Amino acid sequence: MPSSWSSRREVSPETSRLIIERAHDELVGGNAVDARLAQIRGLVRDSWRRSLAHLVGAEGLPPLDLTDDELDAYRSAHPLAGAMDMIRGLLQPDADAGVVVAVGDATGRLLWVEGDRRVRTLTGDMGFVAGANWSEEVVGTSAPGTALALGRSVQIHGAEHFNRLVQPWSCTAAPVHDPETRRLLGVIDVTGGPEAATPQAQLLVDATARAVEGELLVARLRARAAATAPIAVGRATSRGAARAPESATLRVLGRDRALLEVTGPTRETTSELSGRHAEILLMLAVHRQGLSAERLTELIYGTDAGEGSLRPEMVRLRKVLERLAPHLVPTSRPYRLPAELHTDASQVVSLLDRGAHRVALAAYRGPVLPESTAPGVEEFRDSVRLALREALMSEASVDVLLAYTDTTDGAEDADVLRLALRMLPVRSPRRAGLVARLEKLDS
């Protein structure tokens, strides 16, 4: 059978899908000479082999390379930020068009993922969200990653994806280059059902990429024509770049003793905190506006405690932070962190807001500081748990919901088990296990 996509269309779509799936399984399983591989498009076959060479798994979620704040700052300064209105106008004039439009940088990190809400929710379950890395080296064959690898527009149909989680989808992507230097700037992708990978879709995505390059050149020429003080500009740009600040993350999910991770230009450290220090830092991270001594005391010790309980602990915490993360030493009146402290719990909630339910569930390592009895921690713990539960019950796919039933929080939640049972096909082998668990809970 010829290897071109158009020739492969001579067989039924189902037969073509089965051929691709079996060839994929053979290659992943180590049989690189299976005859079926010769029937796969050369572009896809080569990409599969590069994916294997990079040790990409056939299943798994992409890493989130950018936190919310990092994402906002990075994409606001990205060369494609000014072209987003044009991209939206050309590729997603209708919010319910049945596709999502993604724009990524030159390394494959998605910066914008917009479009049909229902499709965005479903694709979010496989990690197709802003901040995630979709390069070929990380997730294997996909339109955005492979387009960047080849430097030209690419279409990937369903089972041609290397990652099995992505195989229900089809996509078209085209790289965007600097109009003068031809340096790679990023990639534009359309993902959805089969309609997202038609010849018409490729023409439209290609045309959009070329239009963006043209707009970048026009804007650049206008800026040069308007420049009236080249010497002053030269002085400004010749100054040394400001040193990048340190960032910090507090990991509290499933841990009684939190980890404080600090990353900066010259160091990267991880330190375990005492239970009390973790509680105080978490409350200050959650209440960014600051807390009075009285209110922070209530959140940590309860309403019956006096402010005298808090002061000596704050003194000890300041000494710890002066050594580990000086930029986080709290100010007083009110108590407040001078720099932002990220938490893994807030990241889970952010992922849920982006529709990335599968990624959020994978990132949820367990309850927030599970042994803590601090009133503020208990309230925050419950809010994170409830946000996860409600999002999964209202929007997640049955596969993600089933994965939730295998966690500590979902294992004995009868409502979740019943919902998963209703969502499963009648002949699913998973039904018997759910029924048994429900009967045990009801007994």
pLDDT of residue 153: 93
Whether 80 and 219 share a structural domain: yes
Q: Do both 76 and 146 map to the same domain? A: yes
Same domain, 198 and 87: yes
Q: Residue 337 above 90 pLDDT?
A: yes
Selection from 171, 162, 135 nearest residue 27 by Cα: 162
What integer pLDDT is reported at residue 184 of this predicted model?
A: 95
Residue 138, in any domain of the structure: yes
Bridge partner list, 170: 192
pLDDT at 227 over 80: no
Mean pLDDT computed over 221-241: 52
Q: Which residue has the higher pLDDT, 100 or 220?
A: 100
**Statement to judge: residues 375 and 253 lie in one domain:** no
**Residue 238 binned pLDDT confidence (cut-offs 50, 70, 90):** very low
Average pLDDT over residues 338-366: 84
Asked if residue 201 and residue 287 are part of one domain, the reply reads no
Residues 267 and 289 in one domain: yes
* Predicted model pTM: 0.59
Same structural domain for residues 205 and 256? no
Whether residue 208 is contained in a domain is answered as yes
Interval 341-354 mean pLDDT: 86
Last residue of a domain, one of 343, 358, 387: 343
Average pLDDT, the chain: 84
pLDDT class for 25, splitting at 50, 70, 90? low
Given this model, what pLDDT does residue 207 score?
86
Q: Cis omega before residue 375 (within 30°)?
A: no
Maximum average pLDDT range among 91-100, 130-139, 348-357: 130-139
Q: What is the pLDDT of residue 239?
A: 39
Specify the pLDDT at position 125: 87
User: 281 lies in a domain?
Assistant: yes
Counting residues of the chain whose pLDDT is more than 70, the rounded percentage is: 85
Same domain, 372 and 331: no
Comparing 396 with 205, the larger pLDDT belongs to 205
The segment with the largest mean pLDDT, out of 67-76, 224-233, 240-249, 302-311, is 67-76
Question: 361: pLDDT confidence band, cut at 50, 70 and 90?
Answer: confident
- The three-point CA angle 439-442-443 to 5° equals 85
Q: Give the model's pLDDT for residue 248.
A: 86
Residue 400: what are its φ and ψ, rounded to 5°?
Answer: -70, -40
Give residue-wise pLDDT tens across range 416-436. 999 999 999 888 888 898 999
Q: How confident is the model at residue 268 (pLDDT cuts 50, 70, 90)?
A: confident
Instruction: Tally Cβ neighbours within 10 Å of residue 361.
Output: 24
Host domain of residue 272: 247-343
Rounded Cα distance, 89 and 314, in Å: 53
pLDDT at position 395 is 81
Give the number of domains in the chain.
4
Indicate which CATH number applies to the domain containing 104.
3.30.450.40
Confidence of residue 35 (pLDDT cuts 50, 70, 90): low
Same domain, 74 and 212: yes
CA distance 302 to 211: 60
pLDDT tens figures, 141-196: 999 999 999 999 999 999 899 999 999 999 999 999 998 888 999 999 999 999 99
Residue 261 has pLDDT above 90, yes or no: no
**Weakest-pLDDT range from 34-38, 355-359, 431-435:** 34-38
- pLDDT at residue 236, as a whole number: 38
Decide: 170 and 196 in contact? Cβ < 8 Å: yes
Q: In this structure, is residue 26 part of a structural domain?
A: yes
Positive or negative CA dihedral for 97, 98, 99, 100? Answer: positive
Answer yes or no: is 234 within a domain. no
| Reported confidence tier of residue 230, pLDDT bands at 50, 70, 90 | very low
The pLDDT score that the predictor gives to residue 351 is: 80
Residues 304 and 369 in one domain: no
107 domain residue, yes or no: yes
Domain boundary among 223, 238, 270: 223
Verify that 266 and 400 share a domain, yes or no: no
53 occurs within a structural domain: no
Q: Which of 299, 319, 343 is the last residue of a domain?
A: 343
> Are residues 339 and 294 part of one domain?
yes
pLDDT, one tens digit per residue, over 96-116 is: 678 999 999 999 999 999 998
pLDDT at 231 over 70: no
- Structure confidence at residue 12 (pLDDT): 56
Does residue 116 form part of some domain? yes
